[in-house]
Structure 1
């Protein structure tokens, strides 16, 4: 009998970015509040994959959750995420998820 156990991190580490490859110094924030972590997790789970060629400006943030890293863009009209190991695919955040992320990050 094989038993699989899923392990989730209980925190999110977020950094502001200058560019895709450069972190803005002294900006790392760690979110440990269960509700805040769940907001990040829900945003990822609800995000909608967009078709086409990805051509975007430098991301505002990079965050790590559950062993994966993501780029994050937040703007007035919503937001987007992209896994750092798959820069050919971008996901649109649902409006409510983007709003909640803005509240947590700001």
Structure 2
């Protein structure tokens, strides 16, 4: 009887792990280039589904540090949909970037915009 119980628990555990892996594989992060806060750049929607890239982006956002509230009129380069939240992203050729939740766009958070992060979002430095 004990062997059957242990075997059943192992099978259930494996099934849960398999379901969890499928969930992660189907997760998508959407990134859209912006013209201004409310207007998207046409034909720039990216859907990032690579598990490694998703992990890099999520890790970068989780490590964001609150900068504070700023009255900002500078348009962000990107809008990123991560899980159920949307963020604005300001980024350039430096190692730092800034994010703000779309619902509270004046509260800024600094991120470490590593080369790995920039590759994950397919960032292209723009010459202006």
The interval holding the TM-score normalised by the smaller chain is 0.7 to 0.9
CA contact (8 A) 2:91 2:113 kept: no
Match of 1:63 in 2: 80
1: distance between equivalents of 2:69 and 2:50? 36
Structure 1 alignment gaps of length 5 or more: 1-6
Distance 1:75 1:100 in 2: 14
TM-score by length of 1: 0.82
Contact 1:54 1:90 in 2 (8 A): no
CA distance in 2 between partners of 1:52 and 1:66 (Å): 24
More strand by share: 1
| TM-score normalised by structure 2 residue count | 0.69
**Equivalent in 86, 100, 103 of residue 116 of structure 2:** 100
Using the TM superposition, give the Cα deviation of residue 40 of structure 1 relative to its aligned residue in structure 2, in angstroms.
1.3
Question: RMSD of the TM alignment (CA)?
Answer: 1.8
Q: What are the superposed Cα offsets for residues 55-84 of structure 1, whole Å, 9 maximum, x if unpaired?
A: 251000001011100011111222111100
Following superposition, the deviation at residue 52 of structure 1 comes to: 4.2
Gaps of 5+ in 2: 1-22, 124-128
CA contact (8 A) 2:69 2:108 kept: no
Q: Which has the larger radius of gyration?
A: 2
Aligned residue in 1 for 2:41: 24
